[in-house]
Structure 1
Amino acid sequence: MIAAASDAIWDNRAACGRNYRVRCTGGTNQGVPEPCRGDSVVVRVVDYCPPGCRSTIDLSQEAFSQIADPNAGVINIEYEQ
């Protein structure tokens, strides 16, 4: 389970290799009214989400599908290292 980190947590590459527990807290669009699965997932940051990235943590498809309906596309999350 992997992810890319945005500037919010990238910390000049210090986040690379860190593990974060991520949980879906809700959807961002009307298309999928209840996107969260109720689970959390632990991901390892392996990449940088470049400037303009609209995410704090950009999850791999596998990690995303563990915590949310893939059809949701974008979700709100909470996370901790």
Structure 2
Amino acid sequence: MEKHIVLALTIVLCHFALSSAIAGTATYYTPPYTPSSCYGYDNMGTMIAAASDTIWDNRAACGRNYRVTCTGPTNSGDLHPCTGASVVVKIVDYCPSGCRGTIDLSQEAFSAIAHLGAGKIKINYVRV
């Protein structure tokens, strides 16, 4: 009986973790990463991103961390762009209106989850 309860709880928790992810798209930008809208000339490293209007929230997104996972291609140029990894990035900048993705990852963060040649990918992201 106890094994069944543990199994049921595990299934519920996994379902919750998967269902809380939000679908979107990601692009990338290249150095230099400063100045940024959130931190000016302070260097925040390379696992960073710029938020589009979708998650910018009038600057409230500054400093938020998101786990981003590539889920597939957005074009026929690279049919299998994903590396299978996820990356956690910190929002340090704003990707202005007209931004091509939900989140604009640093080149280093993008390359951790997808081939750079893809340029734009489908993603799931969740705030962590």
**TM norm structure 2:** 0.62
Q: Which has the bigger relative contact order, CA under 8 A and spacing at least 6?
A: 1
Q: 3-state DSSP class of the match of 2:55?
A: helix
In structure 1, the partner of 2:65 is 19
Shift of 1:33: 1.2
More helix by share: 2
Could you list the runs of 5+ residues in structure 2 that have no partner in the other structure? 1-46
More strand by share: 1
1:64 and 1:27 map into 2 onto residues whose CA distance is: 13
**Structure 1 segments of 4 or more deviating over 3 A?**
none
Q: Percent identity?
A: 73
Deviations 1:11-48 (A, max 9, x none): 00000110000000101111111000111000000000
Could you list the runs of 5+ residues in structure 1 that have no partner in the other structure? none
1:54 and 1:30 map into 2 onto residues whose CA distance is: 17
Q: Superposition RMSD on alpha carbons, in Å? A: 0.5
Q: 3-state DSSP class of the match of 1:15?
A: coil
1:33 and 1:52 map into 2 onto residues whose CA distance is: 25
1:38 and 2:81 aligned: no
